[in-house]
Structure 1
Amino acid sequence: MSSCAIVVAAGSSRRMGFDKLAAPLAGVPVLRRSVEKFIAASSVSSVVVVAPQDRFDELLGGDFSKPVTRVDGGANRQDSVQNGLAAVPEGTTLVAIHDGARPLVTPEAIDRCLAAAAEHGAAALARPVTETLKRADADGLARESVDRELLWFMETPQCFQLPLIQRAYAEVNLCQLTVTDEVSAMEAIGIPTLLVDARAPNLKITHPSDLALAAALLNA
C-alpha cells in the first residue's frame, strides 16, 4: 500500500503570539521536526505539507529522501485538510493526517497507526485519560467527578484508507458540519476509529512553555 502523510501547518499561531512552527526545538524548527518524523517512517511514501509558501520555503527548504510537496491552507482546519487530501499522489491508498505542531511523534508510532488503518479502515494515535476528571459549574466550582474509564485524549496522526476519509469529508460538506479532527468526520458516516496508544509523549505545541517541555523530552 502507498501511504501519504498530510502535515497541516497553515495556522496563524494566535495563542503563541509568534510562529510556533518556526520556533527552534533543539535547534530545528518545529515544523521541520514534524515532517522529518514522517520521512523517517518506513510506511510513508510521500508527504504533503499544507502551509503558506513562505513558511514552506523558510522551514523546509532543501532536499528530502521522499517526495515533499506543498498546498495552500483553507479558511479553517477542515478546509486545509481537504486541500491536502486533494493533493495526495495518484495511487495513494492510506493517508496519515498530522498537526505540524506535534514534533515529538515517533516513526514507530506512525507505522503502527498506519498499519492499524490498513486493517481497520481508520486509526488514530491517542492516550488514555489517567487524571481525575471533575465537572465544574459556571463559577469554576467542582461539582462532580467524571468517570475516566474509556476516555482518551486524541492526538495525531489520524490515519485512514483514502476512500473512507474522502467519503467522510463529503458528508461533512453536505451536512455543513464543523469538525476539529478527522475522527469526528468519520463519526459523521458512522465508522468508528481504532484508538492506538501513542506510548510516548506526543504533545502539541500550543503555549510557549510547551517548547521548553518538548526540548526536555527530546533531551531525555
Structure 2
Amino acid sequence: MEPSPSGGSRPAEPGPCLRGPGGVCQATSAYSPSEVGAQPGYRVAAVLPAGGCGERMGVPTPKQFCPILERPLISYTLQALERVSWIKDIVVAVTRENMDKMEGIIQRYQHKRISLVESGVTRHRSIFNGLKALTENGSNTKPSKPEVVIIHDAVRPFVEEDVLLKVVTAAKEHGAAGAIRPLVSTVISPSADGCLDHSLERSRYKASEMPQAFLFDVIYDAYQQCSDYDLEFGTECLQLALKYCHTKAKLVEGSSDLWKVTYKQDLYAAESIIKGIISQQICIVMDTKEDKGHIGLLEEMLKNELKHINVTSRTLCHAGRDLQQIILDQCYNFVCVNVLNFDFQETQKLLKLLEDSHLSIFNPVVVVSVHFLDYNSEPFGEKMENIMQIREFSKEVKKRNILLCGLLIYYPQDKLKIQESLRQGATIIAALIKERNPGLAGQLLVA
C-alpha cells in the first residue's frame, strides 16, 4: 500500500485481472457488469452530494468535474453505481450554476436513472435535498421512495458492488451501516500552544468511509430533526442517525479502493488506476488466418511483456460476432496486424467497428496498426506512402477518442534480429497501451 496524500490509503498499481492488493478482485463494478449475483429484495436508491467547490484541491474547477482521461471524475462514479442493476434511482445534488454542466455530462456519457436536485450550501444540506427528492411520488421521470438509501461521495469512483451490497444488507437489518477502514496514521490532539496534548490508540479507532446506507425513514427522520449547527458543520451521516434516531450503525470493513479524491495529486493516482484497469485486455486482430510465424511470436512477446494481462487473437475477416463480443466486453486495446496489405483496409474495418460500438465514449481506445514490411520487395516507396496515411486516419478517429498509432517491423531478417525487432515491438505496444498518450496518436514507430 502507498500512503495517499490525503492521509488515507490507496491501492498500488492494479495487478492481474483487475486484482488489487492482497489478490482481491477490485473496481470491476465500475467497468464491467458485476458478477456479485445476490440482489436485495427491496427498493434501493442512492444520493450523491456533488456541490463542493474543491477548495482543498486548489484548482478552479470543482474536483467532481475535474477531467481524468478527458472525462469528468463524477462520470466514473455514476458509472460505478449504474452498473449495479438493483440501485433503481441515483439522485445527484449540484449547485445551480453547475446544473447545465451536469446535464451535459449525463447526456454525453449516456448515464441512466439519474435525477438532479439543487445542492445546499453545505454537504448535509445537499444530502437532505437529495432525500427530499426521493419522497416525491415516483413517475417515469422522477425517482420513487426507496426502502434503503445509499449515500456516497461523487469523488469516490472505485466503489465495488460487493461493498454496496454489504452496507445495504446491514442497513436493512440494523437501520444504518457504513464502510470503515483501518487508520493509517495516529490521531493526536494538540494543546492551545501547539504542543502535543495526547494521542489516541490507533488500534481502537477506524476511519469512516463511504458508501453508507440507511433505512430511508431513519435517515430522513434524522435530517428532519437535525439542528442548524449539525446541518452547517456536521460531516458524519452515521452520527446523525445515532443522535436523532438512536440507531446504531453496523460497521462494515471496506476495501482499500474507497479512498476519496481530495487533493490535486489524487487525480493523477486515479488516472493511473483507471489506465491500469482499462489496459487489462488486448485483442490482436490479423488480416490472415495463416500463421506467418512472426505473428505468433509477436503475440508471445506481448504476453511476456504484459504479464497477467489477457491477450487474445482474432482474424478480422472471420471474426464477426466474436470480435463484436470482445468490444461489448469493453476491451479498450487492439493490435491490428497487417501482413497481406499496406493500404489500411483491415485497420479501417476495425476502426469502423469501434466507432459503431461507441465504446470510446467512456474511455480512450488504443489501436496499434502493425505492418510487417519486406524492404527488399518492390515497390518499397509506394508501400511506405500507403502506410504514412496513418496520420490522416488518426486525425479523424482521434475526434472520437480513438488513439491510432502505427508500428513498422522490417523483414526478412535472421532469426535473432527478427526476434529482437518483435521484442522491441511488444515493448512499444505495451507502452502505448499503458500510457494512452494522445500526443503519440498518428505516429509511425519503427521496431
The TM-score with structure 1 as length reference comes to: 0.89
- Give the one of 67, 83, 105 matched to 2:113: 67
Q: Aligned equivalents of 1:117 and 1:215: distance in 2?
A: 32
1:43 match: 86
Between 1:12-21 and 1:156-165, the stretch displaced more is 12-21
2:127 match: 81
Q: Aligned equivalents of 1:140 and 1:40: distance in 2?
A: 48
The structure with more radius of gyration: 2
More helix, by proportion? 2
1:213 match: 269
Q: Aligned equivalents of 1:212 and 1:161: distance in 2?
A: 36
Give the total of aligned pairs.
218
1:177 aligns with 2:230: yes
- Give the one of 146, 159, 177 matched to 2:200: 146
1:95 match: 149
1:22 match: 65
Q: Runs in 1 of length 4+ with deviation above 6 angstroms? A: none
- Give the one of 183, 197, 221 matched to 1:129: 183
Q: Is the 8 A contact 1:43 1:111 kept in 2?
A: no
1:13 match: 54
Distance 1:182 1:132, change over 3 A: closer
Q: Is the 8 A contact 1:41 1:111 kept in 2?
A: no
Q: Is the 8 A contact 1:171 1:188 kept in 2?
A: no
Superposition deviation, residue 7 in structure 1: 1.1
1:32 aligns with 2:75: yes
1:58 aligns with 2:58: no
Name the SS of the counterpart of 2:100 in structure 1: helix
Q: Which has the higher contact order (CA 8 A, sep 6+)?
A: 1
Superposition deviation, residue 196 in structure 1: 1.1
Superposition deviation, residue 193 in structure 1: 1.0
Between 1:125-134 and 1:137-146, the stretch displaced more is 137-146
1:120 match: 174
Q: Aligned equivalents of 2:55 and 2:257: distance in 1?
A: 24
Between 1:134-143 and 1:155-164, the stretch displaced more is 134-143
Superposition deviation, residue 163 in structure 1: 0.3
Q: Is the 8 A contact 2:174 2:247 kept in 1?
A: no
Name the SS of the counterpart of 1:15 in structure 2: helix
Q: Is the 8 A contact 1:94 1:114 kept in 2?
A: yes
RMSD of aligned C-alpha atoms?
2.1
- 5+ residue gaps, structure 1, are none
1:163 aligns with 2:204: no
Name the SS of the counterpart of 1:47 in structure 2: strand
Q: Is the 8 A contact 1:172 1:188 kept in 2?
A: no
Letter in 2 for 1:61: Q
Superposition deviation, residue 140 in structure 1: 4.8
Identity among equivalent pairs (%): 27
Q: Aligned equivalents of 1:111 and 1:25: distance in 2?
A: 27
Q: Aligned equivalents of 1:19 and 1:177: distance in 2?
A: 24
The TM-score with structure 2 as length reference comes to: 0.46
